[in-house]
């Protein structure tokens, strides 16, 4: 589904290189996790995939089912079925979550959403997340805690039904109970949509205990340096990012 090859990315303001010869391949239905220290480019990767203007790709390629992502704008990438659950979701004043989602669904399908079906679907999703239903009638993310903002992102995901879900530090801001709850909802969604793939970005292995990855990648200095299974994540958690790459993972090519 997603094929990234030899990607080098720098900031558009001062030309600082963030991703350096980065490569990653994600197939249909796979769950991948990227772990790495602060400043290594994990969140930058998610933003580059969604074509954030703060970053310039200087070399390499990104393809989604054969489509060149580098030639697309953010809205075009989203319409392909790529969804980003942001590390720090923004507040959109004056636009209710309900209106936001109805418009997003229209932009995706170009068909007006049946109001009754939409209401039933959003009611089901809020109950799954133990989310206060009145939140959907408020401005997007306004007045919400960090954890509630993350639930709002997952609510959007449930209604938009993406094919690739990017989770940028989903566990940040969620307490243990909320994390379990959100991951249970995600696992149910993935079971019902087995062709959907996930790319998780995280510092800690705790979330990987609930969303079981097929592959764990260690990222250092803007590139993946080793790949393994959950045991690699556990060893990183215990020993830090200076762990011997060859111990449990293999060099990623």
pLDDT at 32 over 90: yes
**Has residue 175 been placed in a domain?**
yes
Its domain, for residue 231, covers 2-88+162-248
- For the chain, the domain total comes to 1
What pLDDT is stored for residue 133 in this prediction?
84
pLDDT digits (tens, 9 = 90+) for 149-167: 999 999 999 999 999 999 9
Question: For 110, phi and psi rounded to 5 degrees?
Answer: 60, 25
197-215 tens-digit pLDDT: 999 999 888 899 999 999 9
Of 16, 15, 7, nearest in space to 57 by CA: 7
Asked if the structure places residue 218 within a domain, the reply is: yes
The verdict on residue 129 lying in a domain is no
| 111 domain residue, yes or no | no
Strands (DSSP E) contained in the chain are 2-11, 17-26, 31-35, 55-64, 67-68, 82-85, 92-96, 139-140, 164-168, 197-202, 215-220, 223-228
CATH classification of the domain holding 38: 3.40.50.300
Residue 78 covered by a domain? yes
What is the spatial distance between Cα 51 and Cα 9, in angstroms, rounded to a whole number?
A: 11
Q: Give me the residue label for tokens 């936001």.
A: 100
- Predicted pLDDT at 85: 95
- The answer to whether 147 and 173 are in contact (CB under 8 A) is yes
Q: Binning pLDDT at 50, 70 and 90, where does residue 238 land?
A: confident
Write the DSSP symbol of residue 250: B
Determine, yes or no, domain membership for 14. Answer: yes
Q: What is the mean pLDDT of residues 36-55?
A: 94
E-strand spans in 43-196?
55-64, 67-68, 82-85, 92-96, 139-140, 164-168
225 lies in some domain: yes
pLDDT of residue 172: 86
pTM for the whole structure: 0.92
- By 3-state DSSP, what share of the chain in percent is helix, strand and coil, each rounded to 5? 40, 30, 30
**pLDDT tens digits for range 121-130:** 999 999 999 9
Contact assessment for residue 58 and residue 240, using Cβ atoms and an 8 Å cutoff: no
Predicted confidence at residue 98, as pLDDT, reads: 94
pLDDT digits (tens, 9 = 90+) for 87-117: 889 999 999 999 999 999 999 888 888 999 9
Strand spans (E) along 12-109: 17-26, 31-35, 55-64, 67-68, 82-85, 92-96
Given this model, what pLDDT does residue 199 score?
A: 98
Q: Is the pLDDT of residue 249 over 70?
A: no
Token pair of 106 as six digits: 């229209």
Q: Work out whether the CA dihedral 74, 56, 218, 228 comes out positive or negative.
A: positive
| Closest to 203 measured CA to CA, from 229, 175, 171, 176 | 171
Tell me what percent of the residues of the chain surpass a pLDDT of 90. 77
Predicted local confidence at residue 57, as pLDDT: 97
Report the pLDDT value the prediction gives residue 234, as an integer from 0 to 100.
Answer: 86
Residue 28 lies in a domain: yes
């Amino acid at each position: 589904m997603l094929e990234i090859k030899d990607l080098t990315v720098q900031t558009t303001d001062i030309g600082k290189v963030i991703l350096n010869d980065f490569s990653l391949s994600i197939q249909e239905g796979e769950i991948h996790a990227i772990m790495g220290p602060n400043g290594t480019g994990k969140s930058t990767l998610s933003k580059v995939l969604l074509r954030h203007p703060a970053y310039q790709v200087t070399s390499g390629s990104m393809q989604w089912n054969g489509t060149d992502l580098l030639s697309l704008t953010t809205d075009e990438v989203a319409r392909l079925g790529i969804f980003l659950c942001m590390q720090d979701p923004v507040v959109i004043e004056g636009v209710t979550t309900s209106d936001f989602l109805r418009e997003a669904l229209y932009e995706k399908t170009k068909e007006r959403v049946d109001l009754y079906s939409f209401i039933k679907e959003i009611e089901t999703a809020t109950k799954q997340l133990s989310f206060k239903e009145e939140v959907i009638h408020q401005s997007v993310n306004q007045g919400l805690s960090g954890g509630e903002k993350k639930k709002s992102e997952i609510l959007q995901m449930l209604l938009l039904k993406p094919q690739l879900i990017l989770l940028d530090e989903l566990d940040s801001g969620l307490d243990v109970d909320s994390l379990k709850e959100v991951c249970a909802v995600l696992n149910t969604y993935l079971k019902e949509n087995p062709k959907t793939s996930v790319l998780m970005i995280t510092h800690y292995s705790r979330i990987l205990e609930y969303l079981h990855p097929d592959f764990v990648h260690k990222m250092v200095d803007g590139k993946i340096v080793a790949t393994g299974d959950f045991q690699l994540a556990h060893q990183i958690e215990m020993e830090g990012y200076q762990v011997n790459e060859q111990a449990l993972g293999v060099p990623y090519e």
